[in-house]
Structures are given as structure tokens and as C-alpha cells.
Structure 1
Amino acid sequence: MATERFKNDKRLQVLALFALYYVLLNQLQSANAEIQHGGTCNSTDSGNVCKPPLVCKLEFNVCLCPVTQYYDSRTQKCESENNLKRKNIKCRGETDSVICSLSQDDSILNTYVSVNSSSQVIPFSQGQAEIKHLSPGTYYVATITSKFVIEFYNKIITSTVAVWTKPDKPGNISSVRKTKVQETSLESYWYDITFEASRGNVSYYIFMIKNTKEYTNSFETKKTTISNVLLKPGTTYFFSITAYNGNNTSSDVTEGSFKTNAE
């Protein structure tokens, strides 16, 4: 009865054709659907393709971003791995170490720092990492390495920061020696003043000297002896010595006093 009714009912036939059309259309759309990030794919798919620029990584059978890109869940797009480089890094040099820090808004997970000419690789802890036992007054390149798991792969992203260690603090004065005859008109003598060198690399020193009667003089020198300094005998002088590296970064200041011998 139902078959006879269908054969004789044009309306039912039209409805059946529409139903079949929508079933076939849905199957066709499904066969040609673009697979989103993380969706399953395989090499036998004749119609299902990854949504560009995603590619089907056959070792995982998953639609992923191309090489050198990663999927940003915030933008829902493939982004360049260069965006993962640490941008908020600050490094400063101390006398024997380099200290690098990351800002609070930058992740520190699986992030390490190293410098050239040192085998140390130091992990960041509470936003900071310090490499010790370095040479004072020396130029270093700090390499910050971050390890990520991106698109099922282990990725290493590096950033570099140039930094100088501070020169070591100069030593004290080791000798004050009279070298030339008296300048009669000034009642003074010529002296050589020698001080102890800084450890490590020093580009130059600034030596300043004064007494309580407003005498002040300063010298820039690459050596540790200041020659031909005109001083009065039997007089107390105050001095300061500062070392500078090739980046004009200063050391801590050595200060003190000495008294020239009486005639």
C-alpha cells in the first residue's frame, strides 16, 4: 500500500528527491571540508584537506602549522617562531659575573643563559640567572635559550645580548717617589705615584688627587704609574682611582690618602 501510494503521490516523490539532494550535498561538503588545526588527516584523504596554511604532518596524521611557524591559540593563526624570541631581556655585568633578567610578563620556563668562552649554562630562577667566574672588564655575548614544544616538535629559540663585565677595583697606592729637583718658586717636588693594577681587562684609569687647600688634579693613564706629579713635601693628599673598560663602564672607586716625605 505504501509503495503504491508513493508511486501515485507526486508530492511525496518531490520531498524524497529533496531529502536525497541534501544528504548527497552534506556528504559532498564533508568530503571537501578543510580540517582545522589539530584535526586528523592522512595521505589517503581524497577530499579532506588541511585549512591553509596548515599542512598534514603524516608522522602524526594531524593538521599543523608549517615549519618555522607555530599555532597561536589567541589569534587562531599560524605565527612566525621569531615571535617567540625573548624581547624583554636585560643583562648587566658585574666584576666577575653577568646577570640576566626577564620581565614578569615573559615566561621563564625552560629558559637558560650562557656566554661565549664559558661552558656554564644557567637556568633562570625567579626571573634571573647569573653566570659567575668571568673575567673583569671583558666583552661577552649572552645567549638566552628557550626550549618549547611546538606542533609536537621540540623547538629551541635563542636571543642574544651584548654585555661588558665591570673592571675590577684598582688597588691602593704602592709607592710615592720623589724623582726630580725642587721647583724653588713653588716649594714643590716632582713625584712618581704608583698604584696596584685592576684584575682583568682595563682600557684606562682616571687618577684624581687633591689636598685640603683646594689643590686638585686629575690624570688619565693606561699605566699604573703617574709620572711627574708636582707635590709639596710633608703634605697629606687624598686620591681616588677608577678603572674603565672598553665600553667606558667604570669600576668601583679606590679612595685613600698618603703623605709626602718631609725635606
Structure 2
Amino acid sequence: MGAGSMAEAWQAHVAGTVACIIVLGCGNAGQPVAPGAPAAQGLPGVVAAPATPSPPGVVAAPGVQGWPAVPVTPAGSAAPAAPAAPAPPGAVAPPGVPQSFGVPECDRFAALMCARGPERCDSATRSFASWRWTVGMSPIARSTITQGCAEAAASLAQMSGTPAAPAGEAAAWGGQDTLTCSGNDVTRITGVTATLAISPAIRAGGHCTLELVDCNITAPVVIDAGGHATVTVTGGRISGTQQAVSASGSASVNVSATTVVGTIERRGPNAIVTQ
């Protein structure tokens, strides 16, 4: 091969290598890099392949930078063999042949770190992978934490809420004397029929809770509620010749599905009577 053919081959090889570097850019990190390989100028993060030594007898043309040497063949000697073209990037050598390393591909995010060496390239790539994993999982983690906090708050509110009033104890009332409910009593009267000449038939005060179910009661004043008492009348009939219900203080009287005969009196702005 003549000097002109050798120069043209080297020029084609260099141009192809540069085009390959430009096309590959900086994509996937993790390819091994040959020890001692210098970084290519003008392409941060790309490590150039080791330079191929000039064959014996080849002298570089004076004043030419970056181009292959022009072979000079002494008279009477055979022309030196052309150097073997390097393996393409990413190629795997056959068994028994040492692996050759081409241009490494590196993540764009870690390009500057790759320019400082393979160790920094690998470290930057791992950091970027961790960052992407964190960003990808953050919505799931945030949703899980938010849902857990909401459930914990709901459970806490349920635990700290006001407990329901216990069911009243069934009380025996003959209907001949006034039934008194006071303090924190919780009383339930069911199915009693009574007619009283005295009043009130039922007196509720303090913080007592009284429930009348299916009772038929007749008296001058059937229910006299005061303080913070809570009286619930369900079903039955209450008949007051003077007043069916008299509520004062902060008492609350709720009448439902009950026949009411007589007037209902509210004494005080905080007294509540509903029916």
C-alpha cells in the first residue's frame, strides 16, 4: 500500500471514529474504560480509545497535527503492513482474545463527572439512578403517608370522642308517687300506665338521662325537667290537665310518636322541647 493510500485509510478511520462519538453522545453509563485512556478534547464525558502506535518506519509529516503519519519506506525494503482497525465500540472479543474497549457511553446527567475518570462516572451514574428511583417512588410514599396519617387521625378522633350514653337501667315504677331522676342517673321506664293526682308525675334534674317507652301517664303535670336533664319519650301517651311538659334551665325533652294532651311550657332560653 502506498503512502497516499495509507494516509487516506487513516483519515477515513479518524473521521469514522469522530462521527461515532458524535452520534453516540452520552447515553448509557457503565461500559468499562481502558486504563490510562485520555479524555477526548471538545467532548466532555467521552473517554477516547487508546491511540494505536505507529508501525516501524513510519514518520509523522512535519507541521501536521491530529493526522496520521505518512509512511516512509526505505529503498529496497518492503512496505510495512497497515495497522489493524480497532474493534467497534461495544464489540465482544472472541474467547481467548483480550477484550478491547471502545468509546464508553455515559449518562448525560453525569457527563461532567465522567470526564474526570471512570470511578467518578460510575459514582455519578449510581447517584442519578438513586435520584430517579426516589422521584419515581415519592408519589407512592407520599400517598401512603397521607393515608396513614388520615386513618390515624380518624382513629384518634373516634377514641377521644364522647362515648354514647349507656342504656338506661329498667326501673320499677308503680305510678303512685313522683318518679325522680337526678344526678347522673340513667333510667329507662317501659310500658307503665299510671294516673296520679299529684304533680309532677316525673321530675328530672341534674345531669340525669331518662327514657320513657310506651308509657301512658296522666297527671296535672306529667313531666317537669330542669337543670341539664335529658328526657326522651317514645310512643305511648302523656296527658296533663295543667301541663304535659314543663322544661326549664338547660333541660332537653324529646317527644316522638307519642300522643300529647296538654300544653308544653319552656321556662328559660336554654330549655329545649322537640316533638
Q: TM-score, normalised by structure 1?
A: 0.31
Instruction: Work out which of the two has the higher radius of gyration on C-alpha atoms and give 1 or 2.
Output: 2
The answer to which structure has the higher strand fraction is 1
The answer to which structure has the higher helix fraction is 2
Q: TM-score, normalised by structure 2?
A: 0.30
